[in-house]
Structure 1
Amino acid sequence: MAQPTAWEPYPEPLAVDSAPLPEYGSGSLADLLPTLAAGMGVPGTTATITELTPADRNCVFLIDGLGWEQLLAHPDEAPFLASLLAGSRGGTGRPITAGFPATTATSLASVGTGLPPGAHGLPGYTVRNPDTGELMNQLRWQPWTSPRVWQPYPTIFQRAQDAGVHAAQVSSPTFENTPLTKVALSGGTFLGRLPGEDRMDLAAEQLAAADRALVYTYYAELDGAGHRFGVDSDTWRGQLMHVDRLVQRLAEQLPPRSALYVTADHGMVDIPFDEQHRIDFDEDWELRAGVALLGGEGRARHVYAVPGAENDVVTCWREVLGEQFWVASRDEAIAAGWFGPQVDDRVYARLGDVVAAARDDVLIIASEREPKESAMVGNHGSMTPAEQLVPLLEVRS
């Protein structure tokens, strides 16, 4: 990144508290399952999304990568989903917020535990493990660490099962024994099916299996199409059309006294392939100065400084990134509520000494350290509406 000349000062940095916060405690992904469980009488859960009416049987269908703004922009490809939007033939669908960062591992943990990232402790795509000093990829769980030490809280599915509610997860068989599933979505019965149609049929069967049921199902391929080809590509649109048919298939099989909720883990933005929009950390001496580890992802970075260089790094990142990113020290990000109302002690050092969240259509890539991630068309992670807002669509029987 070129350094401004003496007569071209750095842009004024964005204020940390100007970032649009997730609606923790009233309208975030972490509030969904506790609200549904509370409606079924599960002890220790509270209904914080107050407009949701309790149901005996609840199913959450999470579509990876389906942001609210992307759904609104493609009604022709998703006519059934569009019919569930507020103001459309009686639909009541509205957006809720993912949480920060808006990324899969963080969001799935928020959904399953009913806790914000500062509590469940999966606060990014990659974060530093304070015990080893290494970056840990929380989606792939590499390097391996004890799942129950990393995330000790019970899931809502476990609480529901203990309360006599039939709990089940219907997803790809490849996810059954992953550490992320164990810490975020375990409890009850895991049922693996590859075809999406089979998952929909089985989810409906699981809803009907008991008088009270809490069922989760998941579809990942829309997100993959977005990363590879972008959210305005024909491939992504084709995946959205397929997802729309899957939702309708499940909705038409709901047993009596059921509620189906369609949501997502994050939205996505396409970033152009040029130096203006993709700032390469591996080639930028200013951003590298004083940095020991670069974590997170392109639009939501955790930056770990060499001991003693923390203040210099946050100052430099603010100067270099100017109005393109919200740049906060760890304590500033915590105080501003980026990771929720509180951060557990075990989570504190996992957060970057500096946390940078993109406001503009820009990435901090790392072409040598992260070649695959740096080549993605569609990206996510930050607090912009395109990434942060996800649908909450409802079908009742």
Structure 2
Amino acid sequence: MLESCLAAVQAGPAVIGLPAVDRAIVVLVDGLGAEALSARAGHARALSGALTSKSAIVAGFPSTTATAITSLTTGLRAGAHGIVGYSALDPARDAVVNQLTGWGPHLDPLDWQRHPTLFERAAADGIAAVAIGPERYRESGFTQVALRGAKYLAGATIDDRVSRAIEWLSTSGPGIAYLYVPELDVAAHAKGWTSGEWTAALEVADSALRRLADSLGPREGMLVTADHGIVDVPHHAHILVDTAPELLEGVRHLAGEPRCLQLHLEPEANASVVFDRWAESESGHSWVATRQEVIDAGWYGPVDDTVRPRMGDIFIAARKSVAYYDSRTAGSSRNMVGQHGSLSQTELRVPLLRFGAFAA
């Protein structure tokens, strides 16, 4: 989508057929699944008013923020850009690293994700590029992974960020902008997407984005989308893998996310035995697949040789409303209600809404 927006500003061919514009904005509303938006349409008149039979698309796998945003801002799938999950194995250190917050001297964002972003490509072509988000993300390692090349503009609230976007629209010259709205995802993790808190956050976002849409000029377009949807998983549906010790035999690391575990095995482990053990235990709840099966099925798109070792040897992707935890290390993350990461349609289907010149 951002790639098509850049093409629209460059007056080049766009994957999703956008008309030529002077400025384009992509708004990513974290956790706004297409099913949830449809279910709460009455609370989001501006957004739901842009819904059509063709305004839902399939987000990439895994359905998690770090992967999806990097795909959006590079135009690549995870098998190429290498952000393979919420957490992933760093083979060089034999350690699992959080892909949103785990950056530092031990893991250089510019080395881990080496592909140019669309912001860098825009700047090289003389097109202004900005990213608008909360101040706390300005200097983060993940911002270097996914947003490098963009001028970062900060706003504390959704309304603040929309105001920054409106100010940017008043500037001269061609440009692309990315605006990030994390509030719905925060509410979903804490209370679930079916909660009043999530609906309230949706109403605030809808009002602010209506204001932004109304500010668009005749040669300005906006797309609103999301990185993933949300599945509410009650606490009693948590599967504690450490309470079945046989499942962890031969497993060196657990990576990924609660709805899509990636098992990294001990070098001496019999992979077939470990796979069969998990398949017998969990195939009623989840898809169980080897790394090669995941690659062959195209879940990640084409996989670079440098990315392959970051992926688990075995994947446990939830297909029912369950989430996997190791209670010895999970801590407060077990308090989360809203979850994502797997292959269900609820998690994968996100809106693609067009405003301004893009709605024509």
Query: Is 1:338 aligned to 2:299, yes or no?
Result: yes
Q: Which residue of 1 aligns with 2:251?
A: 291
Q: Which amino acid aligns with 2:242?
A: D
Q: CA deviation at 1:294?
A: 0.6
How do 1:295-334 residues align onto structure 2 when only pairs under 5 Å count? Answer: 295-309=255-269, 310-334=271-295
The answer (yes or no) to whether the contact 2:103–2:142 under 8 Å persists in 1 is no
Larger deviation, residues 387-396 vs 52-61: 52-61
SS of alignment partner, residue 214 of structure 1: strand
Of the candidates 325, 346, 351, which is equivalent to residue 365 of structure 1? 325
Larger deviation, residues 125-134 vs 278-287: 278-287
Q: Which amino acid aligns with 2:150?
A: G
Q: Which residue of 2 aligns with 1:48?
A: 15
Larger deviation, residues 199-208 vs 381-390: 199-208
How do 1:218-367 residues align onto structure 2 when only pairs under 5 Å count? Answer: 218-274=180-236, 277-309=237-269, 310-340=271-301, 342-367=302-327
| Aligned-partner Cα distance in 2 for 1:243–1:283 | 41
Q: Which amino acid aligns with 2:148?
A: S
TM-score by length of 2: 0.95
How do 1:208-219 residues align onto structure 2 when only pairs under 5 Å count? Answer: 208-219=170-181
Q: Which residue of 2 aligns with 1:168?
A: 130
Structure with the largest fraction of helix: 2
Q: CA deviation at 1:320?
A: 0.8
Q: Aligned in 2, Cα 1:260/1:294: closer, same or farther, shift over 3 Å?
A: same
Q: CA deviation at 1:362?
A: 1.2
| Aligned-partner Cα distance in 1 for 2:218–2:14 | 22
SS of alignment partner, residue 43 of structure 2: coil
The answer (yes or no) to whether the contact 1:262–1:393 under 8 Å persists in 2 is yes
Q: Which amino acid aligns with 1:245?
A: S
In structure 1, list runs of 5 or more residues that go unmatched.
1-31, 88-92
Report the identity percentage.
39
Q: CA deviation at 1:375?
A: 2.1
Q: Which amino acid aligns with 2:175?
A: A
Q: Which residue of 1 aligns with 2:84?
A: 123
TM-score by length of 1: 0.86
Q: Aligned in 2, Cα 1:347/1:46: closer, same or farther, shift over 3 Å?
A: farther
| Aligned-partner Cα distance in 2 for 1:52–1:372 | 43
| Aligned-partner Cα distance in 1 for 2:32–2:281 | 32
The answer (yes or no) to whether the contact 1:60–1:260 under 8 Å persists in 2 is yes
Query: Is 1:149 aligned to 2:111, yes or no?
Result: yes
Q: Which residue of 2 aligns with 1:67?
A: 33
The answer (yes or no) to whether the contact 2:103–2:141 under 8 Å persists in 1 is no
SS of alignment partner, residue 239 of structure 2: strand
The answer (yes or no) to whether the contact 1:206–1:213 under 8 Å persists in 2 is no
Q: Which residue of 2 aligns with 1:393?
A: 353
Of the candidates 82, 85, 88, which is equivalent to residue 48 of structure 2? 82
| Aligned-partner Cα distance in 2 for 1:141–1:48 | 33
How do 1:92-131 residues align onto structure 2 when only pairs under 5 Å count? Answer: 94-131=55-92
Q: CA deviation at 1:142?
A: 4.7
Q: Which residue of 2 aligns with 1:33?
A: 2
Q: Which amino acid aligns with 1:320?
A: S
The answer (yes or no) to whether the contact 1:55–1:258 under 8 Å persists in 2 is yes
| Aligned-partner Cα distance in 2 for 1:305–1:364 | 17
In structure 2, list runs of 5 or more residues that go unmatched.
none
| Aligned-partner Cα distance in 1 for 2:171–2:218 | 12
| Aligned-partner Cα distance in 2 for 1:264–1:174 | 20
Q: CA deviation at 1:128?
A: 0.6
Q: CA deviation at 1:46?
A: 6.1
| Aligned-partner Cα distance in 1 for 2:33–2:217 | 28
| Aligned-partner Cα distance in 1 for 2:190–2:244 | 25
Q: CA deviation at 1:266?
A: 0.7
Q: CA deviation at 1:233?
A: 0.7
Q: Which amino acid aligns with 1:40?
A: V
| Aligned-partner Cα distance in 1 for 2:332–2:266 | 26
| Aligned-partner Cα distance in 1 for 2:126–2:227 | 28
| Aligned-partner Cα distance in 2 for 1:152–1:122 | 11
